[in-house]
A and B are shown apart, each in its own frame.
Chain A
Amino acid sequence: MSATLILAAVTRATSATPAQVSLSQSGLASFFGSAPVQLALVIGALVAVTSALVGVFTVIRRQSFAGHALADLGAVGGSAAFLIGISQLWGFVIAGVLAAGLMEVVGVKRVQGRDVATGIVFGLGLGLTGLFLYLDTQVPGTSNAAVSVLFGSLFVIDASVLPTVLVLALVACAIVLLTWRWLLVDSVSQDLAFVRRIPVRATGILFLVALALAVELSALTIGAVLSTALLIAPAAAALRLTKRVGFAILIAIAIGVGSTWVGILISYQSFGWLHGAHSWPVSFCIVVVLFVVYLLSGVALPIRARARRAAEVVL
């Protein structure tokens, strides 16, 4: 995220001088009054909700590595988008869904962390991304492509993508909500799912599509490199705190949306904290908040267990 771009967007929308922006009183007022900030808060929340819902099932199904794969391969599309003249979001989404299809054909079971072939394919993906990002620099008006593909563009998203983001988020959420019980039985035992006449393979494909959509939407906001953080950290923290799927999803949504909003606020307020006229990149701020929340969930775990033991003794 280019600091000057954030600054330009923010100051343009609020007509506040940089010095005023960092003053907390008027700063907060202009924070919520700023159109790019409002859009960032809305899109950030949409993406965080989708990532949390899909993320909880990703952790349950142990497919976080597949999520990372989809992010890497989606970046190829995100970076190629500038060359073929489609929007960056569609570049991410088309490449991500194609990659999900490819993973299904190759066999999802083989897409595991230890697989050498998988690692080499990802290397090729990032290599292609590097090539396309280099070529992007030759295209006029895309000087920011590399940062925007790899680290997101939450503050400079064009308001016109909001309907697309909303629809894609709804599709991903609908897939998970509809196949809810199928995903859960499958995670207890695939044989049980087969015996219950659940279309196990179709469920797996649909879930990969939902995963691709969630990951590519966060690639738009916080970047391809960081998108799995928003997918996994809220879900993993939530699963530490509760033993119920529904609660885990609600907690993950709260963590995801909360971290995104706090990250946006920190980034906005950070103007001038370091090196004069710069704000800290919003994707960095969000990821740091996510990391801290995940650490805190680890602290909460023993406290919660101790409270429960105490309650049992009383009973």
Chain B
Amino acid sequence: MSASETTSAPAPVLEVASVSVTLSGHRVLDEVSFAVQPGEFVGLIGSNGAGKTTLLRVILGLQRELGGSVTIAGDRGGIGYLPQKVLLDADLPLRARDVVALGLDSARLGVPLPNRARRALVDEMLEAVGATAFADARIGLLSGGQQQRVLIAHALVSHPPLLLLDEPLANLDISSAQEIVELLASICRERGIAVLLSAHDLNPLLPVMDRIVYLAGGRAVTGSTDEVVQSDVLTKLYGRRVDVLRIDRRVLVVAGPDDAHGHGA
């Protein structure tokens, strides 16, 4: 159910068509459809339990869908991915640069040998995410924001056409969250990488999002931010009255009073 059809560009990098998932009797995703075009920055917005992680796992092939289909340009293994919770032990003997290097060829057998071309790629990626200063530090000793940068570099070093990020801002303070969003937007725009990023708060993403996929109760509505984040659209999606307040380029989505049902069907 899309609020508006975007002009059909040639071959989307990702097409999700009527995907449904039921987990232990509960309908987690219900006929979700949307597409991501090359180079687009798409925000996957929804509260906890809306089905964001499940949707990303279906796209990655980590979770089987009950119905519908997921079409990806190229190979699923080529998608860049940043999982939601990455707990890194302080004594894990990997430097930031080792984690990035693992993004290049981790599926291959054998011990990686030092190689100038590999090192140049890793150095370039570390610089792009602003991680050069702590490139030689143990990954487990870095701050949450620094680890995010390194993991983003890990995901991007193989130049994937599509990058999926599961709640990358969840554990960051406001200013690091803003830095990460700007970093992602500039790197991916520059390299033509499409981004699908899940978040429960859409405000940090407002300046960079090309499009939004809004999830609620397992259903999704997609379009530009202005099209989707409207009281009537979200009221229909939630099936109850929802008000959208705009304050100085920020957006607040709040539930309306229980008795006053909205104009949705």
Contacts and interface: CB of A to CB of B under 8 A. Distances in A.
B83 A177 contact: no
B111 A243 contact: no
A193 B98 CA distance: 15
A228 to B, nearest CB: 18
Interface in A46-68: 56, 59-60, 62
B151 to A, nearest CB: 8
Nearest to A179: B109
B81 interface: yes
Interface string A169-212: 00000000111111011011101111111100000000000000
A108 interface: no
B77 A181 contact: no
Contact of B106 (A60, A178, A181, A240): A181
Contacts of B73: none
A23 B60 CA distance: 69
12 contacts: A60-B93, A178-B110, A181-B109, A181-B110, A182-B107, A189-B83, A195-B60, A196-B77, A239-B91, A243-B94, A244-B95, A245-B94
Given A177-B110, A184-B94, A188-B92, 13 more contacts: A178-B109, A179-B109, A181-B102, A181-B111, A185-B102, A188-B88, A188-B139, A189-B86, A191-B62, A192-B81, A198-B107, A243-B93, A243-B95
A215 interface: no
* A interface: dominant SS: helix
B207 interface: no
A248 interface: yes
Q: How large is the interface on B (under 10, 10 to 19, 20 to 34, 35 or more residues)?
A: 20 to 34
A179 B112 CA distance: 11
A62 B91 CA distance: 11
A188 B94 contact: yes
A144 interface: no
A195 B62 contact: yes
B133 to A, nearest CB: 12
A175 to B, nearest CB: 11
B138 interface: yes
A239 B93 contact: yes
Contact of B77 (A60, A185, A195, A246): A195
Contacts of A180: 110-112
Interface of A: 56, 59-60, 62, 177-182, 184-185, 187-189, 191-198, 239-240, 242-246, 248
Contacts of A62: 89
A188 B77 contact: no
A195 B79 contact: yes
A60 B139 CA distance: 13
B39 to A, nearest CB: 21
Contacts of B76: 195, 197
Interface in B46-95: 60-62, 76-77, 79, 81, 83, 86, 88-89, 91-95
Nearest to B87: A189
B108 interface: yes
B9 to A, nearest CB: 26
A197 B99 CA distance: 17
B85 to A, nearest CB: 9
Contacts of B227: none
Contacts of A177: 110-111
